[in-house]
Amino acid sequence: MQFSEAWLKSLVDPKLPTAELGHLLTMAGLEVEALEPAAPAFTRVVVAEILSAEKHPNADRLQVCQVNVGEAAPLTIVCGAPNARAGLKTACALVGAQLPGDFQIKQAKVRSVESFGMLCSAKELGLSAEAAGIMELHADAPVGAALRDWLDLDDHLITLKLTPNRGDCLSVLGIAREVAALTGTALEGVDCSAVAAQVADAYSVVIEHAAGCPRYVGRVIRGIDPRAATPAWMVRRLERSGLRAIHPVVDVTNYVLLELGQPMHGFDLARLQGPIQARLARAGEKLELLNGECIEPAGDTLVIADDSGPLALAGIMGGNGTGVTEATVDVFLEAAHFAPDAIAGRARRHGLSTDSSHRFERGVDPELPRFAMERATRLILDICGGQCGPLVEAGPGAAAKAPVEFRPARARRILGFDLDDGAMLGILARLGMSVEPSGDGFRVQSPSHRFDISREVDLIEEVARIHGYDAIPAVALRGDHAMLPAGEGARSVIELKKLLVARGYQENITYSFTSEELDRDFRSQGEILPLLNPIASQMGVMRGSLLGGLVQSLRHNLNHGQERLRIFEAGRAFISVAAQDQPQRIAALAFGACRPEQWGERARPVDFFDLRADLDALLHPRAAEYRPGVHPALHPGQCAQVLLNGAAIGWIGSLHPRLTQKYGFAKAPVLFEIDLMPLVEQAAPRYQGLARFPAVRRDLAVVVDAALPLGDILTAVGAVKPALVADFACFDVYQGQGVEQGKKSLAFKMLLQHTEKTLTDSEIEAAVAGVLELLTQRFNATLRG
């Protein structure tokens, strides 16, 4: 909502500087989005009349003008504008004038002719961006008057960003009411008194859909002067509200819309056939709108129609061919009330947003149509002449609003400050509410323009708003507190992230949206989940895996000069729309050398086992089980499913060769993606006594089938828990010379320990033999000689 400060001050003038007025509005919830002067600063520019314009003796394109600036003698001024001509009223900057852009006017010789000032274009005065020549002022302009006064340029344009509940402030009067309530300044009335009928024409109106259109006020005005012009003051107020002058009748309806907030429409009476109807659109009906577009309104759309069919999209836009034109002599004016529900969404459906639909969607004072009609009638008669018919009113009107209960004690309880009953009731009274005692509180009737007030809390908000949020004191946070239980061993996600960060990984945030193609490449579970209205096809579906985003990040970074990358992301993957099917995951990707280049270490490309070490670190102290797995994005021979306590929690592996090629990598990155929650939920550790007797290390090398996974042996030993064996780990895997073809040698390190005593040699030998026997029996292992 944009309007002129001067217009507002004509209705209420709290005598505040502009900036303070802006602050007052902002702090009352009517946020000032922009506040700018109507014109930039300039001085000593007056209304002038060109008395004569002669060609310059020494220049083809210049004229030497005699200019009356209201002083005893005319001034000689050289001017280059083609429109400078005798009789023109224009703007003249006198010697000593300061113009925008730090430009000072001096007496000067222009090609040997003395010039005593400058005739100005609107552009030179900062009043418009472009200008074809010097300003052409109205013939009425008083010569010698300061231009700023004549054009009312010491004004400001104020733009408010209104919240959707404050439709009542979508008018200058509405804002003036607020200012009056906030400052206690008197509000000037707008003359909406009844205009007596001068002709008898009462055009008939039929309301078929009273829920959508509870009130329709119409009036005929006959015999307007087609040559009438909109007065300059009205044009100026319209322009400073962002509207162009079009036609006096249209201008008046726009003016009333801005002034009172009531959208109106003017029909050319000669184009109407039969009574006006307010009804829903019928199947197959078409309507050509004012903007030239032809639409077919849906069956839930309210239209204004006559016997020929729809004339206008009710409360949104008029139709082509029935509106007021330059040829119009007789007018039918409409001021109706449409329910927000009947208008909401309809304009947008046809790509429209109009001043009218904007207001009706938020609500308009249901009692306003009659007043707006009287106001518009008077203005049209003043400007265009003509004779008006009687005011025609149809429809039951909006339902009476129930009064709202208000308990000052509850207001104090919610707001948390002491404001006595009297002060609160005073605020409500300033807002035009009538208050009467009722039970332990009050019964409050709000005025019809405050259609947003329907509950006690609405009134509490009004009290706080007018009193000022700044006046609400700062008090300590106090109250009952129930802490939520937290798992005793649970780790925070941040702890897990820090662990990866310490191991060299950079955290990424990739989009939850992805392209369908990428999702097909990486999704291992669930169906593709497309969006109804994506903003772009590469953001068309919800990701089923975090791996795709990391692969894209790798590609971006390789394109920007990185050679080695460690990245991870924690976030949700979307398996289905069900709340429990949006698991939080943590995924990581490693690419490039295993360590940054250094003089003392040989570079080696990162491999599966580097990444596995990082994943093991995340899981520590628990150990995952790795089983051969199948994942659409991972290399079939280098992909493991990760299990924790027997439950599958994710995958680890190298990128599938097909995708490595598709995404243009010289070598396959290694990746993992696992569920986050199993990592977070961790049992608290239980203390175990420290061994007081030294452990003994024994190594054991055995030969087994080359195909036997090490994990099988570790699992078996872990399950059997051989006596005295405190630790059992593989430290070497060997195939080649000295080991039979198809076999491999595995070397294990064993720590043997007794909690009660120091072990004897024979006890140690027996323990080692026990393990060897287990390996021999279960895995056909032989001791390596």
Partner 1 sequence: MDAVAEINAFEAAALAAISTASDDAALEQVRIEYLGARSGRLKDLQSLLGKVPKEEKPAVGKRFNEVKNRVTEALDAAKGKAGATVKPKAGPGIDYTLPGLRPILGKRHPLMQTIAEFKDIMGRFGFTACDGPEIEDEWHNFEALNIPEAHPARDPLDNFYLATAKKGSGAARLMRSQTSTVQIRVMEGRQPPIRVISVGRVYRPDEIDATHHCMFHQMEGLMVGEGVTMAQLKTTLRLFAQAYLGHDVSVRFRPSFFPFTEPSAEMDIGCVICEGAGCRVCSHTGWLEVLGCGMVHPNVFGHVGIDGERYQGFAFGLGVERLAMLRYGVDDLRLFFENDARFLKQFA
Return d(Cα 188, Cα 9) in angstroms, integer. Answer: 9
**Across the strands, what pairs with 445?**
434
User: Which among 629, 618, 631, 632 has a CA at the least distance from the CA of 588?
Assistant: 618
**Smallest distance, partner 1 to C-beta of residue 505, A:** 4
Rounded distance between C-alpha atoms, residue 4 and residue 36, angstroms: 10
Q: Give the nearest distance from C-beta 240 to partner 1 in angstroms.
A: 20
- Note whether 329 binds partner 1 by CB under 8 A: no
Nearer to partner 1, 238 or 459 (CB): 459
Show contacts with partner 1 in window 350-379 (CB under 8 A).
361
**570-589 binders of partner 1 (CB under 8 A):** 571-572, 574, 577, 579, 582, 584
Q: How far is the CB of 123 from partner 1 (least distance, A)?
A: 24
**Among the residue ranges 87-95, 593-601, 685-693, 739-747, the one whose residues contact partner 1 (CB under 8 A):** 593-601
The SS3 assignment for 437 reads: strand
Measure the CA–CA gap between 178 and 306, rounded to whole angstroms. 40
Supply the minimum distance, in Å, between the C-beta of residue 754 and partner 1: 25
Q: Which of 344/733 has CB closer to partner 1?
A: 344
Q: Does 330 bind partner 1 (CB under 8 A)?
A: no
Residue (155 or 614) nearer to partner 1, CB = 614
Q: What angle do CA 753, 759, 761 make, to 5 degrees?
A: 125
CB of 611 to partner 1, least distance (A): 14
Other beta carbons less than 10 A from residue 672's beta carbon: 25
Q: Pick the stretch among 4-12, 175-183, 412-420, 662-670 that binds partner 1 (CB under 8 A).
A: 412-420
Q: Please identify which residue in 114, 193, 286, 511 interacts with partner 1, judged by CB under 8 A.
A: 511
Residue 600 binding partner 1, by CB under 8 A = yes
Which parts of 657-686 interact with partner 1 (CB under 8 A)? none
Pick one of 105, 444, 546, 567: the residue that binds partner 1 (CB under 8 A).
567
For residues 543 and 744, which CB has a smaller minimum distance to partner 1 in the complex?
Answer: 543
At residue 603, the 3 state secondary structure works out as coil
Smallest gap from residue 160 Cβ to partner 1 (A): 13
Q: How many residues bind partner 1 (CB under 8 A)?
A: 92
Q: Which residues are paired to 541 by β-bridges?
A: 514, 530
Q: Which region holds residue 664: left if phi is over 0, alpha if psi is between -120 and 50, else beta?
A: left
Residue pointed to by tokens 């429809």: 395
Q: Provide the minimum distance between the beta carbon of 585 and partner 1 in the complex, in angstroms, as a whole number.
A: 13
**Shortest gap between Cβ of 601 and partner 1 (angstroms)?**
7
Q: Which of these ranges, 106-114, 170-178, 407-415, 749-757, lies near partner 1 under the rule CB under 8 A?
A: 407-415
How many other CB atoms sit within 10 Å of the CB of residue 548? Answer: 25
Contact region with partner 1 (CB under 8 A), list: 10-18, 313-321, 340-348, 514-522: 340-348
Query: Whose Cβ is closer to partner 1: residue 56's or residue 362's?
Result: 362
Largest CA distance in the chain: 133
Q: What angle is formed at CA 557 by the lines to CA 551 and CA 562, rounded to 5 degrees?
A: 125
Per CB under 8 A, contacts with partner 1 among 118-177 are 163-166
Location of structure tokens 């579970």: 525
- How many Å apart are CA 60 and CA 198, to the nearest integer? 60
Part of the chain binding partner 1 (CB under 8 A), chosen from 112-120, 220-228, 437-445, 558-566: 558-566
3-class secondary structure, 758: coil
Within residues 10-69, the interface with partner 1 by CB under 8 A covers 26-29, 31-34
Nearer Cβ to partner 1, position 72 or 579? 579
Distance in Å, CB of 392 to partner 1, minimum: 31
Which of 61, 560, 697, 757 touches partner 1 by CB under 8 A?
Answer: 560
Q: Which is nearer to partner 1, 109 or 478 (CB)?
A: 478
Stretch that binds partner 1, among 70-78, 264-272, 526-534, 765-773 (CB under 8 A): 526-534
Exposed/middle/buried for residue 709 (C-beta within 10 Å: 0-12, 13-18, 19+): exposed
Q: Which lies closer to partner 1 via its Cβ, residue 29 or residue 395? A: 29
- 480 is an interface residue for partner 1 by CB under 8 A: yes
> Out of 539, 714, 772, 774, which residue is the one contacting partner 1 (CB under 8 A)?
539
> What's the CA gap between 44 and 146, in Å, rounded?
7
The pair of three-digit structure tokens given for residue 493, joined into one six-digit string: 């996600």
Q: Which of 370, 523, 566, 743 binds partner 1 (CB under 8 A)?
A: 566
Is the Cα dihedral 412, 417, 423, 424 positive or negative?
A: negative
**611 counts as binding partner 1 under rule CB under 8 A:** no
Tokens of 676: 């986050």
- Reduced to 3 states (helix: H, G, I; strand: E, B; else coil), residue 681 is coil
Half-sphere exposure of 366 (CA within 13 A, CB side): 21
Containing H/E element for 719?
A: helix 710-720
481 binds partner 1 (CB under 8 A): yes
- 402 touches partner 1 by CB under 8 A: no
What residues numbered 413-442 form the site for partner 1, per CB under 8 A?
Answer: 413-417
Cα separation, 385 vs 228, in Å, equals 8
Question: Given the rule CB under 8 A, which of 4-12, 241-249, 429-437, 478-486 is the region that contacts partner 1?
Answer: 478-486
Q: Is the peptide bond before 685 cis (omega within 30 degrees of 0)?
A: no
The correct pick among 52, 562, 715, 755 for binding partner 1 (CB under 8 A) is 562
For residue 617, the minimal CB distance to partner 1 (Å) is 13
Report the residue count for the chain: 785
Answer whether 743's CB lies under 8 Å from 735's CB: yes
- What are 246's two structure tokens? 């079009």
Instruction: Look up tokens 């509200």; give the residue.
Output: 241
Contact positions with partner 1 (CB under 8 A) in 457-476: 457-458, 460-461, 464-465, 469-470, 472-476
Minimum CB separation from partner 1 for residue 580, in Å?
8
Sign of CA dihedral 490, 494, 495, 500: positive
- List the one residue from 112, 598, 645, 737 that touches partner 1 (CB under 8 A): 598
479: contact with partner 1 by CB under 8 A:
yes
Q: What are the Cα distances from residue 699, in Å, to 591, 696, 763? A: 35, 10, 15
Q: Across the beta sheet with 782-783, what order do the strands follow? A: 725-734, 743-752, 696-705, 782-783
Using CA atoms, how far residue 108 sits from 56, 78, 104, 592, 614, in Å, is 15, 10, 12, 74, 82
Mode of pairing for the β-strands spanning 113-115 and 75-79:
unpaired
Interface segment toward partner 1; rule CB under 8 A; list 63-71, 508-516, 619-627, 637-645: 508-516
Rounded to a whole number of angstroms, the minimum distance from the CB of residue 298 to partner 1 is 15
Q: How far is the CB of 63 from partner 1 (least distance, A)?
A: 42
Task: Say if residue 40 is preceded by a cis peptide, omega within 30 of 0.
Answer: no
Nearest CA to 608 out of 654, 651, 566 is that of 654
From candidates 57, 274, 345, 718, binder to partner 1 by CB under 8 A: 345
Q: Is 279 in the site for partner 1 (CB under 8 A)?
A: no
Nearer to partner 1, 34 or 726 (CB): 34
